């Protein structure tokens, strides 16, 4: 058996480390990253007001696509497309023993994706986004309530009065990647959380009680490209 000289092995190791170090040093300037986000969610809500009650359910899937490039220590985000791939909804109204149902095509609003920015924090990058919600009930135009849909932990546009994160009872909405992983050819991460909130409003005679809950799954894929 012929053994390679020690200096040859050490030389190969040195060149390998030099190549990796060069890639890491040049990558931020020479690369851009394609991002695809797929978000799916299923939710339910109930609203009781006096002798009238409403119950609803919905399911949707949204795909967002875009890209980012590094600018110093920060990242610039570019929006390309956002598409509602699936939207199903139903609401049932009960009053004095009678029932009335609204279906998907009768809902006046639909969920939509709002990607605010990507925030660099130490060794990680955090995603700031939310899903714009809709108002219920669909069958009462005078008094309606906004349903808050999924939002990442870094989201800065959710109203503070609902304390969104406090209503997560399973999983986490902290959506982030490790910076160094961006130099891989492609990376993918999945995130999941479950959310539920009870709220009430109005006086004793006209009180309303709203319960809203949902599960959300987020899949984010990032692909590294070299600039031409």
Model confidence band, residue 97 (pLDDT cutoffs 50, 70, 90): confident
pLDDT of residue 5 exceeding 70, the answer is no
Tokens of residue 139, six digits: 């069958």
pTM metric for this prediction: 0.84
pLDDT score for 219: 98
Mean pLDDT calculated for residue range 149-178: 89
d(CA 144, CA 141): 7
pLDDT at residue 142, rounded to an integer? 77
- pLDDT exceeds 90 at position 96: no
Q: Which residue has the higher pLDDT, 170 or 9?
A: 170
pLDDT digits (tens, 9 = 90+) for 36-83: 999 999 999 999 988 899 999 999 999 999 999 998 888 999 999 999
* Integer angstrom CA distances of residue 15 from 22, 26, 30, 120: 10, 16, 21, 31
Q: For residue 126, is pLDDT > 60? A: yes
* Average pLDDT rounded to a whole number, residues 149-172: 87
- Distance, CA of 151 to CA of 129 (rounded, Å): 6
């Amino acid at each position: 058996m012929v053994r390679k000289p020690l200096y040859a092995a050490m030389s190969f190791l040195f060149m390998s480390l030099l190549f990796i170090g060069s890639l890491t040093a040049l990558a931020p300037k020479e690369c851009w990253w394609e991002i695809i986000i797929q978000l799916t969610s299923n939710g339910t809500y109930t609203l009781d007001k006096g002798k009238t009650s409403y119950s609803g359910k919905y399911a949707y899937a949204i795909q967002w696509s875009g890209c980012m490039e590094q600018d110093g220590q920060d990242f610039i985000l570019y929006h390309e497309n956002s598409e509602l791939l699936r939207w199903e909804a139903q609401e049932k109204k009960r009053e004095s023993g009678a029932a009335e149902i609204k279906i998907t095509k009768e809902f006046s609003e639909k969920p939509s994706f709002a990607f605010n920015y990507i925030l660099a924090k130490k060794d990680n990058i955090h995603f700031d986004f939310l899903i714009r919600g809709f108002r219920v009930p669909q069958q009462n135009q005078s008094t309606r309530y906004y349903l808050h849909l999924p939002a990442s932990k870094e989201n800065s546009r959710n109203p503070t009065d609902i304390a969104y994160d406090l209503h997560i009872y399973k999983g986490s909405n902290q959506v982030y990647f490790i910076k160094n992983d961006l130099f891989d050819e492609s990376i993918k991460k999945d995130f999941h959380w479950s959310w539920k909130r009870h709220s009430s409003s109005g006086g004793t005679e006209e009180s309303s009680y709203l319960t809203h809950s949902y599960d959300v799954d987020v899949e984010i894929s990032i692909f590294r490209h070299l600039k031409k």
